[in-house]
């Protein structure tokens, strides 16, 4: 049977493995057992030597490369990373999980792109590993892990609020008694067996709870505990000097992760065609469509709020950071394209706030709360300032369509020739910017 720590590296068993590992100076030492197991993993594709992790540190980088490719590479090949589903290297896997948590904690914010990448990929890895197990083994290991995760003998529904917020699980799908989630079969039978007189309680358990719900809850709880673990390490690192090898790894990850992501996310405005592609870059006011130009110049009291908060905020942020949003099927956050938020702070927000000051009367003079709404529309929650740790509390709002602008802000919609055949101001900006880029440069 697969070990508990193969699914939950934060388990008691996982902590014992870390204690036994010993000196972190061994991270770069070649590990013959690891190499052999990787090479002989079923379905593993070894097309060249670089695919084989030869040390614990190699395995850590391969783990991050897998997370990036799995999420971004449209030609992702699972056979090149099949060794990550090999439970024979569970001890090595547990070590690199903890090592990566520590390196990420001291180098990145807990809500950063890099931390999210690692935490989310851990959830994916758990589900893929569970899928590899036989039904009997999977059921046994899930029950053992859930029993260990329980606090005071139960799992509170409130601990799953983040899972429920993702809409992958509905509160109505859970069986809850006195605030505790009923997941195990014996708990279900003790509480509900007498309620079923014309059908089997065991069958009703499989229908109402079932393995899929338990697997989802398990993976999300471990993701949540991983995030909490990283946060604890970050706090501890302020008081305790971290091991030099962890510091070194964290600095290497700072270079490695953006470099790997950049291979797949180029942040272009379109997929080609008559107007080619428009790359993200400095905002060009000369390319603003009429509605945006009118908003920047100032809006009278009638439509100030919607013009600044709904129209300009989404337009300016996407035009500057990710103009290809409508040609992409990716879910993007601001920090994915502006990791340290310097562009957002120094270019996007000043443009929006200047436009707010140009309103009649200035928007924030009588409605200062609209600053919070602007931050919210960028995806950083209901706060007065952007903070990476708040990202994801709300959604990065996409630009309004021309149709909505005509309905809600007709005073700003003054179409010119550049608007012909366009259904969104962001598309208009992309076309105008492309045309401006094609014009010969004036000699100074």
Q: Where are the alpha helices (DSSP H) in 311-382?
A: 313-321, 334-337, 342-343, 349-357, 363-366, 370-377
- 296-340 tens-digit pLDDT: 988 987 789 999 999 999 999 999 998 888 776 667 889 988 988
372 — pLDDT class (breaks 50, 70, 90): very high
CA separation, residue 287 to residues 1, 275, 283, 436 (Å): 62, 14, 8, 8
Return the structure tokens found at 98.
């903890």
50/151: higher pLDDT: 50
Write down the pLDDT at residue 167.
Answer: 42
Q: What is the pLDDT of residue 97?
A: 97
Q: Which long-range contacts (CB under 8 A, 24 or more apart) does 432-439 make?
A: 432/284, 432/286, 432/287, 432/288, 432/289, 433/278, 433/284, 433/287, 434/275, 434/276, 434/278, 435/275, 436/284, 436/286, 436/287, 437/278
Instruction: Give the C-alpha distances (Å, rounded to integers) separating 114 from 104, 109, 117, 129.
Output: 7, 8, 5, 22
Q: CA 38 to CA 225: how far, in whole Å? A: 28
Question: Taking a C-beta distance cutoff of 8 angstroms, is the pair 221, 155 a contact?
Answer: yes
Distance CA 123, CA 221 (A): 9
Mean pLDDT calculated for residue range 54-61: 96
- Please return the burial class of 239, using the count of CB atoms within 10 Å of its CB with bins 0-12, 13-18 and 19+: exposed
pLDDT above 90 covers what percent of the chain?
Answer: 47
pLDDT at residue 264 above 80? no
Q: Is the pLDDT of residue 172 over 50?
A: no
275: confidence class by pLDDT, cuts 50, 70, 90:
very low
| DSSP type of residue 77 | -
CA geometry: angle at 363 spanning 362 and 365, to 5°? 70
Instruction: Please state which of the ranges 162-176, 285-299, 325-339 shows the lowest mean pLDDT.
Output: 162-176
What residues are paired with 156 via a beta bridge?
A: 180
CA distance 166 to 263: 28
Distance in angstroms (rounded) separating the CA atoms of residues 104 and 108: 6
What is the average pLDDT value for the chain, to the nearest integer?
83
3-state SS track over 269-288: CCCCCCCCCCECCCCCHHHC
In tens, the pLDDT along 101-154 reads: 999 999 887 777 788 889 999 999 999 999 998 888 888 888 888 777 664 444
The whole model's pTM is what? 0.63
Contact 201, 188 (CB under 8 A): yes
334 contacts 343 by C-beta, under 8 angstroms: no
* Cα angle, residue 344 at apex, residues 339 and 345 outer, rounded to 5°: 110
Quick: pLDDT tens for 64-82: 999 999 988 888 999 999 9
Phi, psi at 156, each rounded to 5°: -75, 145
Average pLDDT over residues 346-367: 91
Among 18-32, 273-287, 313-327, 415-429, which stretch is predicted with the lowest mean pLDDT? 273-287
Q: Name the packing angle between helices 56-72 and 90-107 (round to 10°).
A: 70
């Amino acid at each position: 049977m697969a070990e508990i720590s193969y699914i939950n590296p934060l388990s008691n068993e996982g902590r014992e493995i870390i204690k036994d590992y010993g000196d972190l100076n061994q991270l770069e030492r070649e590990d013959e057992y690891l190499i052999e197991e990787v090479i002989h993993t079923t379905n593993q594709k070894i097309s060249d030597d670089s695919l084989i992790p030869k040390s614990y540190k190699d395995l850590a980088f391969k783990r991050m490369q897998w997370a990036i490719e799995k999420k971004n590479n449209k030609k992702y090949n699972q056979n090149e990373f099949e060794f990550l589903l090999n439970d024979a290297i569970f001890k090595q896997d547990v070590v690199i999980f903890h090592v990566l948590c520590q390196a990420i904690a001291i180098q990145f914010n807990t809500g950063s792109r890099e931390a999210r990448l690692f935490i989310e990929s851990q959830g994916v890895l758990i589900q893929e590993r569970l899928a590899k197990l036989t039904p009997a083994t999977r059921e046994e290991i899930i029950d053992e892990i859930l029993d260990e995760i329980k606090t005071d003998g139960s799992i509170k529904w409130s601990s799953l609020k983040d899972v429920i917020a993702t809409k992958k699980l509905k509160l109505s799908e859970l069986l809850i008694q006195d605030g505790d989630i009923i997941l195990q079969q014996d708990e279900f039978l003790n509480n509900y067996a007498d309620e079923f007189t014309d059908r089997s309680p065991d069958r009703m358990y499989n229908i109402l709870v079932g393995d899929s719900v338990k697997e989802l809850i398990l993976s999300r709880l471990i993701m949540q505990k991983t995030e909490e673990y990283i946060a604890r390490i970050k706090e501890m690192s302020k008081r305790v000097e971290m091991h030099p090898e962890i510091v070194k790894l964290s600095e290497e990850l700072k270079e490695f992760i953006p470099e790997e992501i950049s291979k797949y996310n180029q942040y272009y405005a379109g997929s080609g065609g008559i107007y080619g592609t428009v790359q993200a870059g400095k905002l060009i006011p000369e390319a603003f469509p009429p509605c945006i130009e009118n908003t920047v110049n100032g809006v009278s009291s009638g439509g100030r709020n919607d013009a600044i908060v709904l129209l300009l905020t989404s337009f300016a942020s996407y035009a500057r950071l990710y103009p290809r949003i409508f040609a992409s099927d990716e879910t993007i956050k601001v920090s994915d394209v502006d990791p340290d938020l310097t562009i957002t702070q120094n270019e996007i927000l000043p443009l929006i706030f200047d436009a707010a000051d140009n309103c009649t009367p200035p928007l924030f003079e009588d409605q200062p709360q609209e600053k919070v709404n602007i931050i919210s529309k960028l995806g950083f929650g209901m706060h007065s300032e952007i903070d990476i740790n708040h990202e994801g509390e709300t959604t990065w709002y996409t630009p309004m369509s021309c149709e909505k602008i005509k309905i809600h802000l007709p005073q700003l919609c003054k179409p010119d020739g550049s608007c012909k055949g366009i259904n969104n101001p962001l598309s208009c900006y992309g076309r105008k910017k492309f045309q401006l880029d094609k014009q010969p440069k004036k000699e100074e």
